[in-house]
């Protein structure tokens, strides 16, 4: 059986309803993990009318927790594979069928824990390709990758149990990559299905600094990005190229956020908090003292 989970947080109605309809038609089991403070009425009605499981948390429990909860639910319902989606991903009506088909071919050659689609960045309408690591073919349709993003990821649930849950200490940023690297360290592969495309919003917008184009998200995301870069850089199974690249770019990003953005004070605060907690080893959800 095939299952899917969608993680939502203050979701857009039109886009989310379309994704719900597509996945309800392509999978056997579907669950929504809603991290919004109040679950929208339209989402509750859509799930009820389509026999979709809705799990609502009034406080944001984080991406890793949401993934673990959803995948555990799919596993308990008897699913062999589980798809993970963010609310802002766009797929076609044959997405699941094509992904499963290519995965079955590839797993005859290697012990593959998960595969993802070829991601197309919605902001620039271009395929997202690795900047450092080059892909190596597993089959004619699937390339080996060091890591893939969580949205669109298809996980072998039996192997997920062996590899272990997503790391909830990271809360959000780096959760998908860390799990892939951990799988690699245990002898499992991760792949990208080249023929299957998924349009996805990477960040909230784009900005440029010193000739570089970078993703722009909310100020609080900078806390998790900076902190988790430092936390992950201490782990032996995390690729050296990733450590070097991300640690070297942190100062450039800090300067660009201060120069390029009007909310620079708030962004600087979160970046410095992230550096502090990354150095001291603090993890989990950021807890700010109320005034």
Query: pLDDT tens digits, residue range 82-136?
Result: 999 999 999 999 999 999 999 999 999 899 999 999 999 887 788 888 766 777 8
Residues 189, 180: Cα–Cα separation, whole Å:
8
Residues sharing a CB contact under 8 Å with residue 77, sequence separation 6 or more, in sequence order: 1, 3, 29
Q: Are 97 and 28 in contact (CB under 8 A)?
A: no
Domain count for the chain, please give it. 2
142 and 191 in contact (C-beta within 8 Å)? yes
Question: Is residue 187 located within the same domain as residue 222?
Answer: no
pLDDT of residue 213: 66
pLDDT given at position 122? 83
Report the pLDDT value the prediction gives residue 210, as an integer from 0 to 100: 63
Q: Using an 8 Å Cβ cutoff, are 89 and 117 in contact? A: no
Instruction: Answer yes or no: do 164 and 264 share one domain.
Output: no
Domain co-membership, 18 together with 79: yes
- Claim to verify: residue 228 and residue 139 sit in the same structural domain: no
The CATH number of whichever domain residue 75 belongs to comes to: 3.90.550.10
Q: Both 243 and 263 in a single domain?
A: yes
Do 264 and 193 share a domain, yes or no?
no
Where a domain ends, among 153, 172, 200? 200
Residues 138 and 219 in one domain: no
pLDDT value of position 128: 85
pTM over 0.75: yes
Give the model's pLDDT for residue 206.
Answer: 62
pLDDT at 249: 87
Give the Å distances, CA to CA, from 75 to 34, 79, 155, 290.
19, 5, 11, 39
Half-sphere exposure of residue 134, counting CA atoms within 13 Å on the CB side? 1
174 shares a domain with 247: no
Residue 289 domain flag: no
Q: Is residue 288 part of a domain?
A: no
Q: Which residues of the chain have pLDDT under 70?
A: 131-132, 203-214, 290-291
The 10s digit of each residue's pLDDT in 134-144 is: 778 899 899 99
Examine residue 133 and state whether it is found in any structural domain, yes or no.
yes
**Does 163 share its domain with 237?**
no
Q: What is the pLDDT of residue 176?
A: 97
Domain contains 24: yes
Same domain flag for 39 and 105: yes
Of the candidates 265, 172, 185, the residue with the CA atom closest to the CA atom of residue 227: 172
Report yes or no on 83 lying in a domain.
yes
| Structural domain includes residue 11 | yes
Domain extent at residue 210:
205-280
């Amino acid at each position: 059986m095939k299952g899917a989970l969608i993680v939502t947080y203050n979701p857009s109605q039109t886009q989310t309803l379309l994704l719900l309809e597509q996945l309800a038609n392509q999978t056997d089991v579907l669950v929504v993990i809603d991290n919004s403070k109040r679950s929208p009425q339209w989402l509750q009605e859509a799930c009820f009318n389509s026999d979709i499981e809705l799990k609502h948390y009034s406080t944001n429990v984080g991406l890793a927790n949401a993934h673990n909860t959803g995948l555990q639910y799919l596993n308990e319902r008897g699913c062999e594979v589980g798809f993970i989606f963010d609310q802002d991903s766009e797929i076609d009506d044959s997405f699941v069928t094509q992904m499963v088909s290519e995965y079955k071919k590839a797993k005859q050659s290697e012990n593959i824990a998960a595969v993802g689609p070829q991601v197309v960045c919605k902001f620039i309408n271009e395929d997202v390709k690795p900047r450092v690591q080059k892909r190596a073919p597993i089959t004619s349709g699937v390339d080996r990758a060091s890591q893939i993003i969580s949205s669109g990821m298809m996980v072998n649930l039996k192997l997920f149990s062996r590899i272990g849950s997503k790391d909830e200490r990271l809360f959000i940023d780096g959760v998908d990559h860390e799990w892939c690297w951990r799988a690699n360290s245990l002898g499992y592969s991760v792949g990208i299905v080249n023929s299957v495309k998924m349009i996805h919003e990477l960040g909230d917008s784009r900005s440029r600094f010193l000739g570089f184009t970078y993703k722009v998200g909310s100020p609080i995301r900078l806390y998790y990005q900076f902190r988790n870069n430092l936390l992950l850089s201490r782990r032996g199974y995390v690729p050296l190229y990733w450590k070097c690249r991300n640690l070297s770019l942190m100062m450039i990003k800090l300067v660009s956020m201060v120069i390029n953005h009007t909310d620079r004070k708030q962004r600087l605060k979160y970046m410095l908090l992230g550096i502090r907690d990354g150095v001291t080893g603090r993890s989990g959800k950021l807890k700010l003292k109320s005034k």
